[in-house]
Amino acid sequence: MNPTETDISLFKRLRFVLVETSRAGNVGSVARAMKTMGFSDLVLVSPRCEAPLQDPEAVAFASGAIDVLQGARIVGNIAEALDGCNFAAAVSARLREFSPPVWTPRAFSAHAAGHADLRPAVILGNERVGLPNQIVEQCNILINIPANPDYASLNLSQAAQVLAYECRLAAQGENRTQEGVGFHGEAASVAQIEGMYAHLEEALVAIGFLNADNPKKLMPRLKRLFARTQLETEEVNILRGIARQMLRKD
């Protein structure tokens, strides 16, 4: 399958997001990993290295993928990076107490390729500290790459290469191997879901179910619960309607 055959192909829909990358060389290496597998949508969130798209190390490590590197966008926060996406996958070797459902790269790639309405993003964190919990908790899933339990640390570009490879295999077979009925409606965007969480939290405080001064772990648990459902836009609107009714004054 040629990556340019259709606009709904996973090659066109998948976005790679790098958060606070420290080394420009890793940005270039990720660009190369993406291009070798047919992907091109790259977004950097607040990179810690200066001029990562022009840095000589980035250019050298990108090798023949200069077009992907130069086409990358730099934004100031994760919300901007996920604009237009409706399925976010955090990538981490470290499991979290309140993480969304944990999937393998293969499970993610099959899901992303098999649902043409998804506009997915894979999010990779800083080389040293990874992704902050706040970003992980707002994602639909957490991707954990199966590796040697005694040494499970992958370089940033290596992790990107594994994901790009699995997604290429799934994309090449997407017209032959789709299973299930998929979404009945349009998948809700990350921004829509975050807005719903804020609205719901406000309503829970208003009815006295949530103590704003001592919230404990209620909202992370609710986020984990809803992450398992793969919310659709209409479902988010229903939940916000419930929150709106809870906030109505008698």
Q: How many domains does the chain have?
A: 2
pLDDT band at 229 (very low <50, low <70, confident <90, very high): confident
Structural domain includes residue 184: no
Query: To the nearest whole number, what is the mean pLDDT of the chain?
Result: 89
Q: What is the pLDDT averaged over residues 191-211?
A: 93
Which of 41, 88, 60, 68 has the alpha carbon at shortest distance from 192? 88
Taking CA atoms, 91 is separated from 17, 148, 154, in Å, by 10, 16, 11
Q: Which residue has the higher pLDDT, 178 or 84?
A: 84
Same domain, 71 and 96: yes
Same domain, 168 and 229: no
Q: What is the pLDDT averaged over residues 199-213?
A: 92
In this prediction, residue 250 carries a pLDDT of 52
CATH number (domain holding residue 236): 1.10.8.590
What residue ranges in the chain does DSSP mark as E strands?
Answer: 15-19, 41-45, 73-75, 87-91, 102-103, 120-124, 141-143
Q: Which residue has the higher pLDDT, 27 or 173?
A: 27
Structural domain includes residue 98: yes
In this prediction, residue 230 carries a pLDDT of 83
Q: Which two tokens stand for residue 82?
A: 């996920």
218: Cβ contacts below 8 Å, ≥ 6 apart: 204, 210
Task: Quick: pLDDT tens for 85-122.
Answer: 999 999 998 887 778 999 999 999 999 999 999 999 99
CATH number (domain holding residue 17): 3.40.1280.10
What pTM does this model have?
0.77
Same domain, 162 and 141: yes
Q: Which two tokens stand for residue 168?
A: 């290429």
Same domain, 128 and 203: no
Q: What is the pLDDT averaged over residues 42-65?
A: 96
In this prediction, residue 5 carries a pLDDT of 40
Domain end: 125, 146, 177, which one? Answer: 177
**Structural domain of 200:** 190-246
Domain end: 150, 177, 204, which one? Answer: 177
Task: Quick: pLDDT tens for 130-176.
Answer: 899 999 999 999 999 998 888 878 899 999 999 999 999 999 885 44
